[in-house]
Amino acid sequence: MQTRKSGASVTRRLADGSLAFDFRYTQNGRGPKIRARARLAADGTLLSYSAEGMQERGLPVQESFAIERGQARWKSLEESGQAELAGPAFYMPMAGPPELLGLLVTALRRHGGELALLPGGAARLERERPIAVKSASGEEKRLITWAITGLDLLPVRVFTEEDGSFFGVADEWFSCLPPGWSGAIETLVGLERELEVERERALAAKLAQRPPPAGLAIVNARVLDRENRRWLPDHTVVVVGSRIAAVGPSRRTRPPEGATVIDAAGKAVLPGLWNMHTHNHASDGRLDIAAGITTVRDLGNDPDRVDDYKRRWDDGSAIGPHLLRSGFIEGRGENAAASAITAETPAEAKAAVEAYAARGYEGIKIYNSIKPALVPLLARLAHARGMRVSGHIPAFMSAEQAVRAGYDEIQHMNMVFLNFLADRTTDTRTHQRVTLVAEKAGELDLSSPEVKSFVALLRRRNTVVDPTMYIFELLFRSRPGQVLPGLQEMVARLPLQARREYRMGGLPVPEGKEESFQRSFAALLAMLKILHEAGVPIVAGTDAPAGLVMHRELEIYTEAGLSPAEAIHTATLGPARVMKRDRTSGSIAPGKDADLIIVDGDPLADIRDLRRVVTPCAAA
């Protein structure tokens, strides 16, 4: 884990030719412990597989797969099914060691680089650049780099020796390499980063379209008015360069000579969506744009990494939204989250804020282990540099104290509830910050004077709440094997491994607590409505891949009682105002940035239509 030895993966070939795996590692006191067996067919695909033990998140592993008489059957806690095999197919286990990827590479090579996957999808293999690595004892090896696509949202890279035998996998977080070769991690990760940048550049060149100098006109559309309240029927939006040049009724607003014209009859034009809570990865930029998200705020990441995304998304060498940044600041200690920048003293607090100010960040994000005594100083320092202050509420501090100490914004609805549910002994650096709310939020009297006075404080100070409701729906309501109702269509279209992420379930529910969990989520919905009606600004954020679950976040807001227009406001003009970008963003008006989306439907009538974002080439 992050170049530190944290476990081992041992593979043995047994006398009957089958493979036995023992895979385990520990990170922060937990990690997977898996024992598995596999039998291979002559073509390298799996004939049978079984695994038991424990997953990374602590849930049990009980997986089995077998092919008998052309019939494949698989079963685990998260999925089960069967299929008649029409041709060769590789079952990709849910739980197992990285060596399984090596087996998949071998099978793919034997099948000309393409194979159906079980339970679904297909994988393709590409051979990339060779690379030389060196072991601790000075041994040198030349490795082949393989990219498997179709398995996850990004290519999965596997390194083999020149004879094709499995060598290992490596990324910044998790690597698995033969003993003595951990020194190669940096080289391998560096190569993967280069390959990813090249791939993003090639995709940007292929997919991005640039309108002619005369501009672009979207005609005959329903256009959302500048306050995002109602449709302007049969309107035209003219874009020249990167700005909106004109908005008016189609019969009076002529497209400029030579402009590209998109007929959006029957469709709706809205401002591009904002996602105010993201932690970006390389795959996010394209997913965001495809989903209609044109601005995201990153709330915690490796600063070099996020600055690199920003540079490439801005200059067009990769596809991605506008990126605003909040710098993550955490304390140190056993329960602290990993962070490039930490602060335990006033001098370190000053250095942390200055480091992010120098990078041009819009805000700071304070985390669980920051000492409460440092919060007023951090807030003063950030405000003096024009930066916003937001975050988790540090352990042993209440949300009310944090707001009074200078928080402009609170992340996550559980932090609002902990103001009432946590006491002096609650250590919110641990998972208690979620489990306590899952068990007890439903018992809180939302009409009590304490709740009312806290809501009034937020209103008075104009404190913003970024509730990340989807995360709590996932944690409180999702169970292993089930995909949450609002996500099924989206999840069904994902590559295999990404799809499985949505079947893992949320928090384990303690015996007899099912109803409390459900009641607690209902209380979170009720609190959202109370905050909104009191005039506390709500901004939409997902804390998860933006392009995949942003629409669900907004659907949850309407389930809480916001109108679709109000929900859309939390993802357009609302955040633009919070971030002081409303002169250039957040709605459709002449002079604003041309961050526009075309939607095939009427999201003011049914928020679910917001999923039906169309690309201009499809609309034209």
Interface residue list for Zn ion (CB under 5 A): 299, 543
Q: Which is nearer to Zn ion, 145 or 411 (CB)?
A: 411
Smallest separation, CB 544 to Zn ion (Å) = 9
Residue 240's alpha-carbon distances to 212, 215, 236, 554, 590, in angstroms, are: 9, 4, 13, 31, 10
Q: Which is nearer to Zn ion, 221 or 378 (CB)?
A: 378
Smallest separation, CB 398 to Zn ion (Å) = 20
* Token pair 């009074």: residue: 404
Q: Are 115 and 90 in contact (CB under 8 A)?
A: yes
Q: Which is nearer to Zn ion, 77 or 540 (CB)?
A: 540
- Which burial class, exposed, middle or buried, applies to 547 when counting CB atoms under 10 A from its CB (0-12, 13-18, 19+)? buried
Q: Which is nearer to Zn ion, 279 or 503 (CB)?
A: 279
Instruction: Report the 3 state secondary structure along 382-442.
Output: HHHCCCEEEECCCCCCCHHHHHHCCCCEEECHHHHHHHHHCCCCCCCCCCHHHHHHHHHHH
Distance of CA 178 to the CA centre of its chain: 31
Smallest separation, CB 466 to Zn ion (Å) = 9
Q: Are 389 and 350 in contact (CB under 8 A)?
A: no
User: What's the rounded Cα separation, in Å, for the pair 167 and 188?
Assistant: 12
Q: Give the residue at shortest CB distance from Zn ion.
A: 543
Smallest separation, CB 584 to Zn ion (Å) = 26
Q: Which is nearer to Zn ion, 100 or 299 (CB)?
A: 299
Q: Which is nearer to Zn ion, 473 or 543 (CB)?
A: 543
Smallest separation, CB 400 to Zn ion (Å) = 22
User: What's the rounded Cα separation, in Å, for the pair 325 and 286?
Assistant: 18
Q: Which is nearer to Zn ion, 330 or 543 (CB)?
A: 543
Residue 129 backbone dihedrals phi, psi, to 5 degrees:
-65, 140
Q: Which is nearer to Zn ion, 402 or 588 (CB)?
A: 402
Residue 117's alpha-carbon distances to 146, 324, 389, 405, 496, in angstroms, are: 17, 38, 46, 54, 8
* DSSP for residue 608: G
Q: Which is nearer to Zn ion, 338 or 605 (CB)?
A: 338
Smallest separation, CB 162 to Zn ion (Å) = 43
Smallest separation, CB 331 to Zn ion (Å) = 17
The edge-to-edge listing of strands for the beta sheet with 89-91 is 89-91, 114-118, 122-134, 140-149, 156-161, 166-170, 175-176
User: What's the rounded Cα separation, in Å, for the pair 170 and 135?
Assistant: 15
Q: Which is nearer to Zn ion, 235 or 310 (CB)?
A: 310
User: What's the rounded Cα separation, in Å, for the pair 176 and 189?
Assistant: 12
Q: Which is nearer to Zn ion, 326 or 463 (CB)?
A: 326
Smallest separation, CB 2 to Zn ion (Å) = 20
Smallest separation, CB 310 to Zn ion (Å) = 18
User: What's the rounded Cα separation, in Å, for the pair 43 and 45?
Assistant: 6
Tell me the longest C-alpha to C-alpha distance in the chain.
82
Taking the CA atoms of residue 416, residue 568, residue 208 and residue 619 in that order, the dihedral angle to the nearest 10 degrees is: 150
Smallest separation, CB 131 to Zn ion (Å) = 34
Smallest separation, CB 472 to Zn ion (Å) = 13
